[in-house]
Amino acid sequence: MTGLYKLTRTTAFRLSMLYFGLFATIAAAATTYIYHQTDKLVTEQLAEAITQEQRSLDLKYRTQGLKGLEQEIAERSLAPGNSLYLLANAEGGYLGGNLKSISADLWNAPGPSVFYYRRIHEGRAEDRFAVATVLHLTNGSRLVIGRDIEDQRDFGERVRSAFLWTMAGILIVGLGGGLLISRQLLIRIESMTETTQSIMAGDLSRRIPLTGNDDEFDRLATSLNVMLTRIGELIAGFREVSDNIAHDLRTPLNRLRNRVEAALREKTDEKGERYREALQTTIEEADELIKTFDALLSIARLEAGAAQNTGERFNLSTVIADLAELYEPVAEEQGIELKPDVDDDVSIIGRRELIAQAVANILDNAIKYSAPACKSGPEAPVKAEITLRLRQREGHADIVIADHGPGIPEADRERVVKRFVRLETSRSQPGTGLGLSLAAAVARIHNGTLTLSDNDPGLKVTLSVRVPAEEASRST
Amino acid sequence: MRVLVVEDDEKAASFLANALRESGHSCDIASDGEEGLSLALSEPFDVLILDRMLPKRDGLSVLEELRKQENHAPVLVLSALGTVDDRVAGLRAGGDDYLTKPYAFSELLARVEALARRKSPEEASTKYVVGDLVLDRLSHKVTRGKENVPLQPREYRLLEYLMKNAGQVVTRTMLLEHVWDYHFDPQTNVIDVHISRLRAKIDKNYDKPLLHTVRGAGYILRDGAV
């Protein structure tokens, strides 16, 4: 019963009831109107016919007297049809006609009146409905002229009952249909409710089931599912951050603490030189921690606000050229040639600082990992090379940083973009392990992508950013 | 130099005040926004160090009120909020510089001193001179002694900034901010390499070095030893 109650409480049911009510009212009004108009027309025609007959019979009486009228009535009474006649003398005695008697109040009625009369039909008496007017003749006798309207009444009856039955049918179908539709909708909504409830309870892996018929519910469910996936990613991100903090921040913090403790345990030498050294290292480690922390916060904030790319238009070519100029000496010192290859006048809308930082991070990596290959120094015969390229293609600006370092195995390429992932081979290198994650987050808020590919040999990192449409058309 | 520190964290404030005093500056402390505002308005300070999140009245609103009252003392905004947007908000409210917590004191000191210098009406000098090193801002020519020193445009700007702040420590991040206009912290020591290139041009072939490294802080351009 509660199930039925629930069904009747649904919006779908209420809506279908509302529509049913409207439809039934309109149908009832229309049927009633048509019935009444038809009835009125028939009644009027009947009254008109009676009046006509009254006149002609009255004329008959005046010209041929009672005898002539009697004869005429007898003739007309025999004719098939629904006409009714009763000719009676002043005392009410039967003189002729196919009506035997009528009630007294009808006898004295001034205008047309309705009544039941009894007739013998196929050996059975039946009461039939009729309408008649009484004509007072000059000699005091009266002539009743009427019409059998039993068929008309019967028709009305039938219309009424047909109407009621139809209404009952509509009511049943409407109710049933309403319940059925609400049940269908309720099942869909319930499955969504149930899914969201289990998600609220903590099971983020749940998804709203699709029926596959691509209706509005499927579309709603699809976008809800996409939203859930995004939320899931964000939460996983947060979870990852806290795991990262636990691992990559606690460990160095612990190291830092140990060092200070160790320094405190030491016997003071005359100048406190050891203290100084320990403190110096402590500061350096603290700085590294701060850097890591900053990078983590930046990534988290970028990822949380990934939806909006607010920013201003700036010349990307200048930024890339500046970065090439900024990094060129460092690269050269490591025996690497940094080759800029920059398309002119590429401008994008975005955050200049963030793009610069992302590219700087990738360049940092490229230099860091290209360097060991040519540790022999700048005098080495073959120089390592890093290309920093900016290319504009339709709708996109591609910043490509390609090196000839050891590269990253294909299987690891997706992984290294994640926070703190540093391949075992690079654990010894300084750095937070967040550079590529930050670059990827920056790419995302610029509606762009960060892709790692093989430079054969080496690594090619492509940061692709969208160029606003109107700008692309202006610059071409 | 007289500095006002507006900071609600007592330990941080007294650490900062002591360190500034040790560096030869006098220092007052205000522990909330209202106090900071009334002190800043009633007494002349060379530099204000203003924390962003303060009780009673937050740092940015203090800053806006100061500027509204035509007080143009240089302000260094200190904040734990360190994104580009936070920095922009701080500078837009009228701050002259922005430093994210945690910071190295040497960084803060260098910036405060740079701010104090900026306050003294920008000498319209067209020439910077340190020892026998001369930078002509009109012709963009640099000479040391009698010799012309050819510099790349960026090296010129680097030297110009160092000479403008001659005798004062300039940190790596300050250089990155003013010469390259970037506020992030590169992992590799990109600035050091640029400095050593500049040094090769202005110092290498001369007896007396002018561009010195200050350990744990940055660089200083001055005639004479550090």
**How much is the pLDDT for A278?**
81
Q: Considering only the beta carbons, identify the residue of A301, A357, A367 that sits closest to B184.
A: A357
pTM score: 0.63
- Alpha carbon of B30: minimum distance to chain A alpha carbons (Å): 27
Whether residue A319 is found in the same domain as residue A295: no
| Alpha-carbon gap, residue A377 to A370, rounded angstroms | 12
Q: Is A288 found in the same domain as A227?
A: yes
Are B100 and A294 in contact (CB < 8 Å)?
A: yes
Which residue in B222, B199, B189, B192 sits closest to B151, CA to CA? B199
The total domain count for chain A is 3
Average pLDDT over residues A363-377: 68
What's the mean pLDDT when you consider all of chain A?
A: 80
Interface test with A, best of B190, B191, B192, B215 (most A CBs within 10 A): B190
In a domain, A95, yes or no: yes
Residues A271 and A380 in one domain: no
CATH number, domain containing residue A463: 3.30.565.10
Confidence band, pLDDT 50/70/90 cuts, at residue A427: very low
Q: Which of A291, A330, A431 sits opposite B185 (nearest CB)?
A: A291
Question: Chain A residue with minimal CA distance to B152?
Answer: A325
Q: Report CB contact under 8 Å: B182, A329.
A: no
- In a shared domain, residues A344 and A404: yes
Q: Please report residues of A whose CB lies closer than 8 A to that of B186.
A: 326, 360, 364
Q: Give yes or no for a cis peptide into B102 (omega within 30° of 0).
A: yes
Residue A45 lies in a domain: yes
Closest by Cβ to B190, choosing from A326, A361, A432: A326
Note whether A35 and A128 are same-domain residues: yes
Distance CA B67, CA A239 (A): 43
pLDDT of residue A382: 53
Helix (H) or strand (E) holding A125: strand A124-136
Tokens of B194: 């640029």
**pLDDT of the residue at A68:** 86
Q: B188 and A364: CB-CB below 8 Å?
A: yes
Task: Indicate whether A278 and A401 sit together in one domain.
Answer: no
**Residues A141 and A237 reside in one and the same domain:** no
Q: Name the minimum distance, in Å, from the CA of B190 to any CA of chain A.
A: 6
Return the pLDDT at A146: 86
Q: Is A13 on the interface with B (CB under 8 A)?
A: no
Whether A279 and A346 map to the same domain: the answer is no
* Shared domain check, A277 and A334: no
| pLDDT tens string A247-263 | 777 777 888 888 888 88
Hey, CA dihedral for A462, A465, A466, A470, is it positive or negative? negative
CATH assignment of B127-221, given 2.30.250.10, 1.10.10.10, 1.10.150.120, 1.10.1660.10? 1.10.10.10
Among residues B81, B206, B93, the alpha carbon closest in space to that of B143 is found at B206
Count the Cβ atoms, other than its own, within 10 Å of residue A163: 15
Residue with tokens 């404030």: B13
Asked if the Cβ–Cβ distance from B193 to A333 is below 8 Å, we say yes
B82 CB near a chain A CB, below 8 Å? Answer: yes
Contact check, Cβ <8 Å, A361/B82: no
Q: What is the mean pLDDT of chain B?
A: 85
Q: What's the CA gap between B195 and B176, in Å, rounded?
A: 11
Calculate mean pLDDT across residues B64-68. Answer: 87
pLDDT tens readout for residues A385-403: 888 888 888 888 889 888 8
A453 shares a domain with A403? yes
Confidence of residue B49 (pLDDT cuts 50, 70, 90): very high
Q: Which amino acid is at A313?
A: R
Q: Which two tokens stand for residue B159?
A: 């030297």
Q: What's the pLDDT at A170?
A: 83
Q: Which of A159, A177, A201 is the last residue of a domain?
A: A159
User: What is the reported pLDDT for A250?
Assistant: 78
| DSSP 8-state secondary structure symbol assigned to residue A248 | I
Instruction: Identify whether A181 is part of a domain.
Output: no
The CATH number of the domain holding residue A15 is: 3.30.450
- How large is the ipTM? 0.79
Mean pLDDT of A300-309: 65
**DSSP at B178:** I
Determine, for residues A351 and B84 on separate chains, whether the beta-carbon distance falls below 8 Å. yes
Residue B33 has pLDDT above 60, yes or no: yes
Query: Which pLDDT score, from 0 to 100, does residue A270 have?
Result: 65
Q: B172 in contact with A at a CB cutoff of 8 Å?
A: no
- State percent of chain A over pLDDT 90: 1
Under the banding of pLDDT at 50, 70 and 90, the label for residue A296 is confident
Distance CA B76, CA A393 (A): 43
Shared-domain flag, residues A114 and A145: yes
The strand ranges marked E within chain B are 2-6, 26-30, 47-51, 75-79, 97-100, 127-130, 133-136, 141-144, 147-148, 169-171, 211-214, 218-221
Residue of chain A with shortest Cα separation from B80: A294
Shortest CB distance from A360 goes to which of B84, B184, B193? B184
Nearest C-alpha in B relative to A331: B190
Tell whether B183 is within 8 A of chain A (Cβ): yes
The answer to whether residue A209 sits within a structural domain is no
Helix A352-370 vs helix A316-333: crossing angle, to nearest 10: 30
With cut-offs at 50, 70 and 90, classify the pLDDT of residue A378.
very low
| Yes or no, beta carbons of A294 and B185 under 8 Å apart | yes
Query: B133: which 2 tokens?
Result: 């090193």
Domain ranges of chain B: 2-119, 127-221
For residues A328 and A282, membership in a common domain is answered with no
For A438-447, write each residue's pLDDT tens digit.
888 888 888 8
Fold of B2-119: Rossmann fold (3.40.50)
For residue A472, pLDDT over 50 is answered with no
Mean pLDDT of B161-183: 87
> Residue A45: which domain range?
11-159
Convert the pLDDT of each residue in A18-65 to its tens digit: 888 888 888 889 888 988 898 889 888 888 888 888 888 888 888 888
pLDDT at A471: 47
pLDDT digits (tens, 9 = 90+) for A442-461: 888 888 888 888 777 778 88
In a domain, A180, yes or no: no
Question: A259 burial class (0-12, 13-18, 19+ CB within 10 angstroms)?
Answer: middle
Domain annotation covers residue A187 = no
Q: Give the pLDDT of residue B218.
A: 87
Q: Is residue A410 domain-resident?
A: yes
CA angle B131, B136, B140 (to 5 degrees): 130
Instruction: Indicate whether A344 belongs to any domain.
Output: yes
Does the pLDDT value for residue A371 go beyond 80? no
Tell whether the model's pLDDT for residue A475 goes beyond 50.
Answer: no
Q: Per the CB < 8 Å rule, is B190 touching A330?
A: yes
Q: Are strands B26-30 and B2-6 parallel, antiparallel or unpaired?
A: parallel
